[in-house]
Amino acid sequence: MRWKDNQLVWGKLKLLPIIDKDNPVIRHGLNSPVKYVRLLWHARCSTWGNPKTALARELNGKRRWYVQLINSGMPYQKEKNYVADGVISLDLNISNIAFVGDNAGLLPFADKVPTYSREIKALQRQMQRSQRCSNPENYETDCTSRVGRRTVVKKGKPKQGKRQWKKSKTYQKIARKKRELERRKSAYTKSQNRKIVNEILRHGKHIKTENVSVKSWQKRYGKAISAKSPGFVQSELARIS
């Protein structure tokens, strides 16, 4: 698999790319020397750094394959995302980050990002009902109890031990919807937090901050850390600065 004459050549197969030539970032990349080309799966994977790994991406419940062109040289620098040569101090929290340099400010993580919490919880309940219908042998029998004058039916708990689970087509369809909402939430969060990183670097690239353990925050504030993703901002600042 190689890049030749502005197209992907894979044996006898030749594929023309879909390129936005009005995008200055794309134009800058195409004008740089090509190192190699690979098929890409946009997800956390232990073989992420392997250029020979052929992977896919799931969008709206459908698996899509993308070709990633790896070029040498320096990345394109947008005018608004300049990096100042100054010293800046940071104070990282689970929901926001404060910076002090020539100027000072407080920036919230993942501001105005939709959480889809109600939609995801509704889909999780549908998945549980589907699992109970498809795998009744994996659950204990339902029981009844008295609450005041009412008789309440309590669903049986999952049985202990290793079990075989059947996943119906309905369950898989609902699971795809849930994964799509989680993907959108993650994409929105990363987009907003990258704006925070760019804003900080506009005030200075020499960063001074205390050594904060995001893993310890994850144990204590699990859902809050997942929604705000301060560790992503921390890793991006370490990568760029």
In order, the DSSP letters of 159-209 are PSS-------HHHHHHHHHHHHHHHHHHHHHHHHHHHHHHHHHTT-SEEEE
Distances (CA, A) of 223 to 60, 75, 217: 24, 34, 10
Non-local (6+) Cβ contacts of 124 within 8 A are 178
End-to-end CA separation in angstroms for the chain = 34
Ranges of the chain with pLDDT below 50: 42-54
Confidence at residue 39, expressed as pLDDT on a 0 to 100 scale = 79
Confidence at residue 49, expressed as pLDDT on a 0 to 100 scale = 39
Confidence at residue 56, expressed as pLDDT on a 0 to 100 scale = 59
Express each pLDDT in 22-64 by its tens digit: 899 988 988 899 998 887 764 443 333 343 344 556 777 777 7
Q: Which two tokens stand for residue 98?
A: 């404060």
Placement of tokens 């980050």 in the chain: 97
Q: Which two tokens stand for residue 144?
A: 């009844």
Confidence at residue 90, expressed as pLDDT on a 0 to 100 scale = 93
pTM above 0.85, yes or no: no
